[in-house]
Structure 1
Amino acid sequence: MKKCYNNDLRSTSSCAACKLLKRRCIPNCIFAPHFRADEPKKFAKVHKVFGASNVSKILNEVPEEHREDTVNSLSYEAEARLRDPVYGCIGAVVLLQRRMFQLQHDLALARARLAHYKASSLHTNTNNVVTANINTDDNGLFGLDDHNTVSITNMINLCGEELISSDQLSQSDIGVYNTTDFGQVPDLLPL
C-alpha cells in the first residue's frame, strides 16, 4: 500500500528519522522525503550532530525547492564533524584552500619558467638567425655598411622579427656603432 506525499509515492513504512526516533511517521513528515527508510545511517549522523528538533526547524525555514540541498549540506557537515570533532567541515575547507593556493603558486612558477625558457629560446634562435642571415661582402666582413659600421636597427631587421618595438628604443640606442665597439680588430677593416 502506498501513500501519496508531495506528489511522490512512498511506502507505508516509516522514514529513517521516525524509525530512529521510534515514533509513527505521519503523512506530512518533514523528514520522509529526505531521509528514506533505506538510509538509516544518514539521519543517525545528522541527528547525532544537530539534533532532530534543530533539523526540523531548519527544514521548515527553507523553501521546499531547497530542502534537498539543505539535507545534503547537513549530512556532509555531520559526517565531517564526526570525522573531525574540532574543526568539522572547516578543516576540509581550509585543507582544500591550502591545496588550491599551493597549486596556484605552482602554476605561477611553471608559467614563469615557461616564459623564461621561451625568452632564452627566442634569444638562442635570434642568435642563430642573425648568424645565418648576415651576408659577407667581398672582403669577408659581416654585415658592415660602407662606413664599416653596424646599426642596432639593422641587426634587428636582420633577425626577421622585431625583438624590441621601435618606440622602446631611445635615440641613443638607434645610433650607429663602430665595429671596434663589437670587439673586431680595426686592422681587418678595409681602408
Structure 2
Amino acid sequence: MGGSSPCASCKLLRRRCTQECIFAPYFPSDDPQKFAIVHKVFGASNISKMLQELPVHQRADAVSSLVYEANARVRDPVYGCVGAISYLQNQVTQLKTQLAMAQTEIMCIQMQQDYSTNLSTQTDHYQDDNKSLVLSDNNYESCNINHNLADHHHHQYLSFASSSSSSSNVIQDPFKRESFWT
C-alpha cells in the first residue's frame, strides 16, 4: 500500500500501489493466487467497480464470495457454484430417501416382532382377542405395502439421478479434486 510491498493485484497488473488502492486491503501481496483467480474470471475493472459500489464493511465478504465463485467457475465454467449446490442437494435427497427406507424397515421389523408376540399369546386367548389378531394381520400387510412403496420411490430416484447425471455437464463430485478455498 504505497510502502514497501505492492498488493497482489498491483503486482499482477504491474502498476504502482497507492494508499487509495481499493484492492490492497483484500488482496495482500503474500497471496497472489487469490487475486489472479478472481482477475481471470471477473476482470480487474469489474472487481474494482463492484468493490466501489459496496460499503466498506461489506467488501471483505464480497471478496470472499468472488474468490469462492471464481474457484468454482475455473473448475466448472458452465455451472460454477450452482453445480456444487446441485450436487449437494442431490446428495441430501438421496440420503433422505435412504433414511426413509431405513425407518420403514425398522418399523416393519418392530411390527413383525409385535405380530409374532401377539400370535403366540393369541393361541391361549383366541376367542377373546380375535379382533386384535385381525388388526395385527392388517398392520403386517400395511408394513409390507409401506416398505414396497419406499423401495419403489428409492428406485425411481435412482433412475432419475442416473438419467439426469448422464445428460448433464455438472461435475458430480466437485469436492474430490480440490477445495474451493485454495
Fold in common (TM above 0.5): yes
Give the one of 99, 113, 128 matched to 1:151: 128
User: Superposed, which structure 2 residues align to 1:33-182 within 5 Å?
Assistant: 33-128=25-120, 130=121, 142-143=124-125, 150-152=127-129
Match of 2:157 in 1: none
Task: Determine the structure 2 residue equivalent to 1:183.
Answer: none
Distance in 1, matches of 2:45 and 2:90, equals: 35
The share of aligned pairs that are identical, in percent, is 46
Deviation at 1:125, TM superposition (A): 2.9
Runs of 4+ in 1 over 6 A off after TM superposition: none
More displaced 10-residue stretch of structure 1: 59-68 or 91-100: 59-68
1:103-142, CA deviations, whole angstroms, 9 ceiling, x for partnerless residues? 11111111111111121122223334x26xx8xxxxxxx4
- Change over 3 Å in CA distance of 1:11–1:96 after alignment to 2: farther
**Amino acid of the structure 2 residue aligned with 1:16:** A
- TM-score, normalised to structure 2, is 0.64
Secondary structure of the equivalent of 2:64? helix
State the 1:11 CA deviation. 6.4
* Higher RCO (CA-CA < 8 Å; seq separation 6+): 2
Report which of the two has the higher share of strand.
1
Q: Distance in 2 between matches of 1:113 and 1:36?
A: 55
Structure 1: which amino acid aligns with 2:101? L
Q: Secondary structure at the match of 2:47?
A: helix
Q: 1:114 to 1:24 in 2, by over 3 A?
A: same
1:70-101 CA-to-partner distances (Å, cap 9, x unmatched) read 11111111111111222222221211111111
Bigger CA radius of gyration? 1
1:14/1:99 Cα in 2 relative to 1: closer, same or farther (>3 Å)?
same
TM-score (norm 1): 0.61
Segments of 5+ residues of structure 1 without an aligned counterpart are 4-9, 135-141, 145-149, 157-162, 164-191
Distance 1:126 1:26 in 2: 84
- Consecutive unaligned residues in structure 2, runs of 5 or more: 137-182
Structure 1 residues 60 and 125, CA gap change in structure 2 (3 angstroms): farther
Structure 1 position 56, deviation (Å): 1.2
